[in-house]
Amino acid sequence: MPKSAFKRLLGMAIGLLATTQAVAATLVVGDQSFNARTVLEAAGLLQDLPYTLEWKQFTAGSPVAEALNVGSLDVGLLGDAPPLFLGALGAPIKVIGISQQNREGVAILVRKDSPIKTLADIRGKSAAIWKGSWSQQLLFTALDQAGVTRDQVDLRYLGALDASHALEGGSVDVIATWEPYVTQQELNGARVLATAEGLIPAQTFVVATHQAIAEKRELLGDFLRRLYQARQWAASDPAHSERYADTWAELSRADRDVARRWFSRAAIQVLPITEQRIAEAQRTVDFFSSIDLIKRYPAKTLFDTSFNQYLQTPASAAKAQAAR
């Protein structure tokens, strides 16, 4: 066989092998209650994947963090506290992207007939929160600003679902919680005393393991880019948001009205990692360190900014390339 023909055949074989490997590659994703999967499906961004997405669904962020820590996931989506806690322990993970929703979706609520009108009125009342979460950070920060000491509140440590039931049943006076429980409570007539706006960052992180970053970087980048595009699609048109909400409600067996109201105001975006967002993460680390839940450490060590390139618009990418 001529040498040139052999080289062509060898090149074709290598290309075929690379394509086969790409198709056979799998990215294991830790999602919460079908949220990311639903928006990607609704936006039509799962139709041409050159690799397989294996979804694992969770009901809270802590088990997503645990699965990442033991390596049973490649990437997961979860609130900032669990990965920041893992960062304090030196876990083999990195934050590769930020997901941010309207901070009105993290709130302190009371029943519609409650005599509590201000944060100061919580003094002497009972409040349900979840330790090591947005709800604890929000309530404690709000009480500090209102001049109410923590020992002046009867704290009950309940998960978000149990806290909602406790508020409805009257066994607690106040809850600090997040979506979709905020929207559910509002539709039931609950009043909002304060939201995370201006009080806590309430960031959500896209977190990958060190191994996945080393072995599946292109897959992670492609997934992050598709998630970014799906969030843009959902926020670009009320009809898109409704389609996303209806699909999610059907999959999760949730109330459609709750889903539509939540997603319409959430305006969820996938964002690059910036110094400001790292500084906000440091605020969260400092808060939980101040109540002795974790040791203080530089949050910056937990972030990998190299994935920002997958979230650039064509114009910003060209500008970044020209600056090199």
pLDDT number for residue 24: 56
293 and 181 in a single domain? The answer is no
Domain boundary among 132, 162, 195: 195
- pLDDT tens, 119-158? 999 999 999 999 999 999 999 999 999 999 999 999 999 9
What is the extent of the structural domain holding 97? 3-101+202-323
Indicate whether 315 pLDDT > 90.
no
244 and 145 in a single domain? The answer is no
94 and 108 in a single domain? The answer is no
**Averaged pLDDT for residues 27-49:** 93
155 and 224 in a single domain? The answer is no
> What does the longest C-alpha to C-alpha distance in the chain come to?
90
Using 50, 70 and 90 to split pLDDT, how confident is the model at 2?
A: low
Domain boundary among 173, 195, 217: 195
Task: Read off the amino acid at residue 120.
Answer: A
The pLDDT mean for the chain works out to 89
Domain boundary among 129, 160, 195: 195
296 and 225 in a single domain? The answer is yes
Indicate whether 11 pLDDT > 70.
no
pTM: 0.84
239 and 313 in a single domain? The answer is yes
The rounded distance, in Å, linking the Cα atoms of 27 and 215 is 11
Using 50, 70 and 90 to split pLDDT, how confident is the model at 59?
A: confident
Q: Number of structural domains, the chain?
A: 2
126 and 238 in a single domain? The answer is no
| Domain CATH code at residue 163 | 3.40.190.10
Indicate whether 297 pLDDT > 80.
yes
**Averaged pLDDT for residues 277-301:** 96
**Averaged pLDDT for residues 205-214:** 97
138 and 213 in a single domain? The answer is no
**Averaged pLDDT for residues 309-320:** 56
169 and 267 in a single domain? The answer is no
209 and 92 in a single domain? The answer is yes
302 and 182 in a single domain? The answer is no
88 and 15 in a single domain? The answer is yes
* Percentage of the chain modeled with pLDDT above 70: 89
110, β-bridge pairs = 174, 191
Indicate whether 6 pLDDT > 80.
no
CA angle 105, 68, 64 (to 5 degrees): 35
- pLDDT tens, 68-110? 999 999 999 999 999 999 999 999 999 999 999 899 999 999 9
**Averaged pLDDT for residues 181-200:** 94
Tokens found for residue 298? 């530089």
